[in-house]
Structure 1
């Protein structure tokens, strides 16, 4: 579990005084440099405020009660901090403030959106998507789950928490854990970006985490079959009818330039004599 720098500070809004001469007591929480602050609805006379301790000075019952209220707020914020960290595996200043204020947010998570994307893609298999394409999305889903567990020790993450560094770390994970080549990594990140784009279009992400991120594909010489090699393949006799059909389909693709998905949907009615 990630350890954060968590601080709570109480101070006076000294630039504005109430009619009774007191100043509002403000609470500020800081987590890893991120700040949130708001009024506690408590107040104190500036002359009776100790900046160092963040408490009121004196021994009167009024001061004692005020300091008790401040301590209760600090205890409550601390409890929210540890509770959120335990449940989510991470915590932000905004999350602690919202918990204190009683604000609950509808969190859309990465895996929830990714799983919906997988479901939608599966329905398109045989229509506009090929089964191997769906399998690639599914494989990348498993890689993302493994990455979050190993890198951040979390099982999921809210979409609004996905930042640029998450993208960079994911690429590094694919290259180091699975030894993916440049082009394989490029394709995996492309699949993942499609899921993020879907969340952006749905208004679930306001800032694209891929902004500033660049990865290019390397040109690879795949080689090609010569005319003589094609002829030899056409004349080759195979032991099974199935292999002959595979050969015939491959040769047909070579001469027509049709993609696999087009061949898979090709029917006799689609063939016409010109």
Structure 2
């Protein structure tokens, strides 16, 4: 969709020097305006106010036409690069002011606007929170409302790191975990690299600053805890639906959005028996997932054959919202004294570790079934699956002890 804006020229009589006044441009977008000086001057008597152009000066007419073309080129560039467009950004990009004194919070507004259009709400929200963190930091430490991006150096990043380590999570009222801090640095690094690509800054301090990651904390259930959830006596059908959606991901590794939108077209059968799931991993890698169906997952598919969701929309499972799901799964497992917050993603972690790796499924099969693009992502699960390593060591000891 093309951006609608208006460009008008007028003579600013307050700039008169030696009988000539500077011609100004006025950019209007959504009833908001920004003005700039054109460096052109003309006698007021030679200016046509109604048509906003010189009466008979071909040189100035030609120069104003070139300005109009350059303004349009600027708007085209902003549209192409998906940068937030308003009268100020058009003026700043045209005059080059954006390259001189762009503040980091102002630039983050543009990144946030871009992410709102191009990514998930969860990813977009991370940049919103990052802006709050940086805003609080520069106000408390530097006592300014915004900070010139050209002045962001290694000390700025180091001090920001120290600031993040000093604050507490508003949700849990405890210091931020190192993984959370590392995540904020990763998003900030992306922002500064974008600024570098757009010539707002000449270098990024993240070329020097090393982001320290915390020890991965994989939240997963044990086999006995899975059994307890399966055997839960629940009060109503909605709670039962949530429990079954969770268990389906425990035995398939699907993300919440994947299980929520999964239809029977993605389930293959052989001789009337459910065999595999074929779906595209659209959130990250856009690869085709081929997941073999375990018996307990098959039984859940069969359980909902006559559900409204299946009959009306061909969904495998009854759809629920993510917030409602997390609220209910936390409620129905409260008595288990699980030492971490229960969310849907616990099911995916459980599938990778308790279901697969602790039952000797190879790491490359786990990688493919989870849809990881890199084996390094899968190795995180392998590091915390000590039971499998212990079992393997015991098995090797038995073999070689008996051989001796």
Give TM class, smaller chain: 0.5 to 0.7
Give the one of 96, 101, 106 matched to 1:112.
Answer: 106
**CA displacement, residues 12-43 of structure 1 (integer Å, 9 cap, x when unaligned):** xxxxxxxxxxxxxxxxxxxxxxxxxxxxxxxx
Following superposition, the deviation at residue 223 of structure 1 comes to: 5.0
Q: Are 2:227 and 1:231 aligned?
A: yes
1:248 and 1:108 map into 2 onto residues whose CA distance is 51
Aligned to 2:117: 123
- Contact 2:100 2:200 (C-alpha < 8 Å) held by counterparts: no
- Contact 1:200 1:206 (C-alpha < 8 Å) held by counterparts: yes
Following superposition, the deviation at residue 261 of structure 1 comes to: 4.2
2:260 and 2:102 map into 1 onto residues whose CA distance is 37
Following superposition, the deviation at residue 268 of structure 1 comes to: 4.4
**CA displacement, residues 170-197 of structure 1 (integer Å, 9 cap, x when unaligned):** 1111111233221121111112212112
Structure 1: gaps of 5 or more residues: 1-102
Question: When the two structures are superposed, what TM-score results if normalisation uses the length of structure 1?
Answer: 0.55
Aligned to 1:254: 250
Question: When the two structures are superposed, what TM-score results if normalisation uses the length of structure 2?
Answer: 0.38
2:260 and 2:202 map into 1 onto residues whose CA distance is 39
Q: Are 2:129 and 1:135 aligned?
A: no
The 5 A counterparts of 1:158-177 are: 158-177=148-167
- Contact 2:179 2:216 (C-alpha < 8 Å) held by counterparts: no
The 5 A counterparts of 1:1-274 are: 106-125=100-119, 129=120, 131-178=121-168, 179-222=175-218, 224-273=220-269, 274=275
Name the CA shift for 1:221/1:207 in 2 (closer, same or farther; >3 Å).
Answer: closer
- Contact 1:110 1:159 (C-alpha < 8 Å) held by counterparts: yes
1:162 and 1:235 map into 2 onto residues whose CA distance is 56
Q: Following TM superposition, where does structure 1 have runs of at least 4 consecutive aligned residues deviating by more than 3 angstroms?
A: 103-106, 220-223, 260-274
Following superposition, the deviation at residue 110 of structure 1 comes to: 1.1
- Contact 1:164 1:211 (C-alpha < 8 Å) held by counterparts: no
Structure of higher RCO (CA pairs closer than 8 Å, 6+ residues apart) = 1
2:201 and 2:226 map into 1 onto residues whose CA distance is 51
User: RMSD of aligned C-alpha atoms?
Assistant: 2.4
Structure 2: gaps of 5 or more residues: 1-95, 169-174, 270-274, 276-404
- Contact 1:109 1:156 (C-alpha < 8 Å) held by counterparts: yes
Aligned to 2:400: none
